[in-house]
A and B are shown apart, each in its own frame.
Chain A
Amino acid sequence: MKRLRPAGNVAELPSVVFGSRSLMWWATLGFMVIEGWTLALLVTAYLYLRQNFEAWPPLRTPYPSLLIPTINLVIMLLSFFPAFMAAKRAKQLDTAGVKRWLVVLSLFALAILVIRWWELWAINTRWDTNAYGSAAWTIVGFHTSLLALDVADTLGLTLLFFVREMPARSFSDTSDNSFYWYFTVGIWIPVYLIVYVGPRIF
């Protein structure tokens, strides 16, 4: 074996970083790509099945309701703000600020998840009625599982901030949590348009 010769020293480098420098950010990104791609494939399958029908939604199948989904969409868009604020405070290492905005975000997250239940029924067609219902339920249902995961993540993080002392790394985790929240909400917009608005258009 060759002898080791020091070529530099890394002791002065930081040990907590934010954004794309940190490993957790990359893991979050990977998760987002996988889940986003799965959702994209489901939407493709939805549009593929569309070709098997003369009308969309199929004959004797009601349109999805728009009221509740639209309300929830507005709440989701508003939730960008607490997510953004939580990330901003985290980057300032402001524990009180992070706590405050995480609580707000958690409330938003819970509200969205609860409304999602009625939002599923707003499809107005059961999953076992026809292929249209199956596709719509699967798409919204899959997004719901992403949402639930994100809600659990947010609630867990908030809880930890309140019950124990958190190391500096948790600020980085908070900003990654917001990053994932942007994704969950952002990806909902096309889903909303296709599943709820789409049948009235195509």
Chain B
Amino acid sequence: MPTTYRHRGAISLALFTAASLAACEREARRLNQQPPPGPPVTFVSQSPLQPGPTVVTDTAEGEFDDNAYNTSEGQTLYSQMNCSGCHSNGGGNMGPALMDDEWLYGSKPNQIFASIAEGRANGMPSWKYRLTNKQIWQLVAYVRSLSGLTPKGARPARSDHMMVSSPPNQTPNAKPRNSGLPGASQRP
């Protein structure tokens, strides 16, 4: 009996510690980080079919996707950079919708990073000289939260605006489909 109890105690202690550590990461706000020296944007691949060496950035997925503060900063940037001008509040208009499960250029963080940083055909401008890497990763986290690709605990709730679409914390967890525009992968 006592051993079982001890085991149980140890397990619950471990679970508890794990939960707290997860919370630490999810709630962390790393405010004062020195920017990396060198050019503004790491070179990223546009598509797997690209000729030459494929360089994929380190995505630091957890630091952004599973972090409430970074996702929220991404949300702020989304409205400040007027992303809604084309993508609306995720519903899409001139640009494609961001809150559905369909992804023209891939739904992985580094793919979305590439879309934002390098821009895409049909009007998506390149942001790599206007935003920092960190800001783009924050946007990536927010964009992914819109379609339920990031951990639920880190997704934002409604914002103080008119309600036009359901907030990320209500979006069900989605399985993305990479549809691809006809011939999209051939474009540089």
Contact = CB atoms under 8 A, between A and B. Distances in A.
So, do A and B actually touch in the complex, CB under 8 Å? yes
Interface of A: 128-130
Chain A at the B interface: mostly helix, strand, loop or mixed? loop
7 contacts: A128-B158, A128-B163, A128-B166, A128-B167, A128-B170, A129-B163, A130-B163
A129 to B, nearest CB: 6
A56 to B, nearest CB: 18
Nearest to B158: A128
A130 B158 CA distance: 12
Contacts of A128: 158, 163, 166-167, 170
Contacts of B163: 128-130
A128 B163 CA distance: 8
Interface in B23-75: none
Contacts of A130: 163
Chain B at the A interface: mostly helix, strand, loop or mixed? loop
Nearest to B157: A128
Interface centre among B158, B163, B166, B167 (most CB of A within 10 A): B163
A117 B163 CA distance: 25
A129 B170 CA distance: 13
A130 B161 CA distance: 11
A16 B56 CA distance: 79
Nearest to A129: B163
A128 to B, nearest CB: 6
Contacts of A129: 163
Contacts of B166: 128
Contacts of B158: 128
Contacts of B167: 128
CB-CB nearest 7 A-B residue pairs: A129-B163, A128-B163, A128-B158, A130-B163, A128-B166, A128-B170, A128-B167
A8 to B, nearest CB: 52
A77 B158 CA distance: 39
A129 B158 CA distance: 11
A129 B167 CA distance: 11
Interface in B106-144: none
Nearest to B166: A128
